[in-house]
């Protein structure tokens, strides 16, 4: 898609249940469909809450790490190694207490970090980092599939830890899966992304 054109959304009501509703959304611009989204919404339920994932201990304090801020997102690199990228992220604008806006902000911010985890596993990573400083100067990358599961309410205006690990790179496609933690250690979301990672012709 392009930010120079408006986006037209077509929404199909797939299912309306007592606890869940399902929607399918297709976003269009002049070149055709740019997004095909399937989403499920659930009413809150008072059931057992069991957390199996533990927040990593090698990421420092919330908001610590190398500064790589964007216009809308505060970004702090907490840990980077081969196959792993852990980043503290926070929206720089006040979103209030609206759960939907908090979820949208997390979805927007979660698109970048899986690529870092996958790029770090490429056999030529040292070569392109030494010569250009960025894998994106030597490779074409784009998201092929992006999924998010929201497990628990998101904290407002706090740093969230996005901890992503690569699960392999083959046929120019990589898969990364990550967990998102609140500063308290609560596991609030899980993200999975398949990425096209193709070397540019030289």
Co-location of 80 and 6 in the same domain = no
Please indicate, yes or no, if residue 54 is contained in any of the structural domains: no
Predicted TM-score of the model (pTM): 0.88
Please indicate, yes or no, if residue 51 is contained in any of the structural domains: no
Co-location of 97 and 186 in the same domain = yes
Please indicate, yes or no, if residue 177 is contained in any of the structural domains: yes
Please indicate, yes or no, if residue 32 is contained in any of the structural domains: yes
Co-location of 38 and 110 in the same domain = no
Token pair listed for 130: 């030494």
Co-location of 147 and 192 in the same domain = yes
> How many domains in the chain?
2
Co-location of 21 and 76 in the same domain = no
Q: Is the pLDDT of residue 145 over 90?
A: yes
For residue 25, give Cα distances in angstroms to 4, 104, 105.
21, 15, 18
Please indicate, yes or no, if residue 49 is contained in any of the structural domains: no
Q: Is the pLDDT of residue 121 over 80?
A: yes
Co-location of 24 and 73 in the same domain = no
- Mean pLDDT, the chain, rounded, equals 89
Give the tens place of pLDDT for each residue, 36-92.
999 999 999 999 999 999 999 999 999 888 887 777 888 899 998 989 999 999 988
- Which string of DSSP letters, residue by residue, matches 7-45? -EEEEEEEEE-SSEEEEEEEEEETTEEEEEEEEEEE---
Co-location of 73 and 155 in the same domain = yes
Please indicate, yes or no, if residue 57 is contained in any of the structural domains: no
Q: How many residues does the chain have?
A: 202
Please indicate, yes or no, if residue 68 is contained in any of the structural domains: yes
Q: Where are the beta strands (DSSP E) in the chain?
A: 8-16, 20-29, 32-42, 66-67, 73-81, 84-91, 139-150, 160-170, 173-181, 187-199
Co-location of 127 and 190 in the same domain = yes
> Which has the higher per-residue pLDDT, 127 or 58?
58
Nearest CA to 200 out of 128, 111, 126, 117 is that of 128
Across 104-118, 145-159, 182-196, the highest mean pLDDT is recorded for 182-196
Instruction: Find where tokens 């840990």 sit.
Output: 79
3-class secondary structure, 130: helix
User: Can you give the residue range of the structural domain that contains 67?
Assistant: 62-199
pLDDT band at 134 (very low <50, low <70, confident <90, very high): low
Rounded-to-integer distance, Cα 37 and Cα 14, Å: 12
């Amino acid at each position: 898609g392009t930010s120079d054109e408006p986006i037209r959304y077509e929404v199909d009501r797939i299912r309306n249940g007592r606890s869940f509703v399902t929607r399918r959304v297709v976003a269009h611009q002049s070149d055709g469909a740019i997004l095909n989204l399937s989403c499920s919404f659930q009413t809150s339920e008072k059931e057992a809450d069991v957390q199996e994932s533990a927040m990593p201990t090698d990421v420092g304090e919330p908001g610590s790490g190398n500064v790589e801020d964007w216009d809308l997102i505060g970004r702090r690199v907490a840990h980077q190694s081969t196959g792993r990228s852990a980043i503290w992220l926070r929206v720089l604008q006040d979103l209030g207490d609206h759960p939907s806006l908090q979820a949208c902000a997390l979805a927007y911010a979660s698109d970048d970090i899986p690529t870092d985890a996958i790029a770090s596993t490429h056999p030529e990573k040292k070569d392109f980092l030494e010569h250009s400083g960025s894998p994106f100067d030597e490779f074409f990358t784009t998201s092929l599939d992006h999924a998010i599961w929201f497990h628990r309410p998101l904290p407002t205006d706090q740093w969230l830890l996005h901890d992503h690990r690569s699960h392999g790179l083959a046929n120019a496609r990589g898969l990364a899966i990550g967990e998102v933690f609140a500063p308290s250690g609560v596991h609030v979301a899980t993200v999975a992304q398949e990425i096209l990672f193709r070397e540019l012709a030289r």
